[in-house]
Amino acid sequence: MAAKIKKGDKVVVLVGKDKGKTGEVIEVRPSENRAVVRGVNIARHHQKQSAKSEGGIVAKEAALQISNLAIADPKDGKPTRVGFKLLDDGRKVRFAKRSGDVIDG
């Protein structure tokens, strides 16, 4: 099955402490069904000092369950479901079911 959420997509968080926030997908982990979104679900970790990095409390994005994310509609930025369709030139593309706009390519 083709991935409905990919790296670089604009997504909206549907549930949790960051509900309603939007951000760009930095990383997708298909085996875990999780994605990391820039500026969302910030976790603070205590980091020990090393030769490469400074010690202290570091803020970093934690992964979210993919089911808690929805693609932002290209037209109005509201959450939408994703469908697939074949274009006349034979390419398979994702489209927003809310507006019908093509998401990629």
Nearest to 11 by CA among 42, 3, 21, 1: 21
pLDDT at 43: 95
What would the mean pLDDT of 86-98 be, rounded to a whole number?
91
Q: 8-32: per-residue pLDDT in tens?
A: 999 999 999 999 999 999 999 999 9
pLDDT at 104: 77
Q: Would you say residue 105 has pLDDT above 60?
A: no
Q: 46-82: per-residue pLDDT in tens?
A: 999 999 988 999 999 999 999 999 999 999 999 999 9
Instruction: Quickly tell me which residue has 């409905």 as its tokens.
Output: 4
- Could you tell me if 36 and 5 are in contact, meaning their C-beta atoms sit under 8 angstroms apart? no
Give the domain ranges of the chain: 9-96
CATH 2.30.30.30 fits 9-96, yes or no: yes
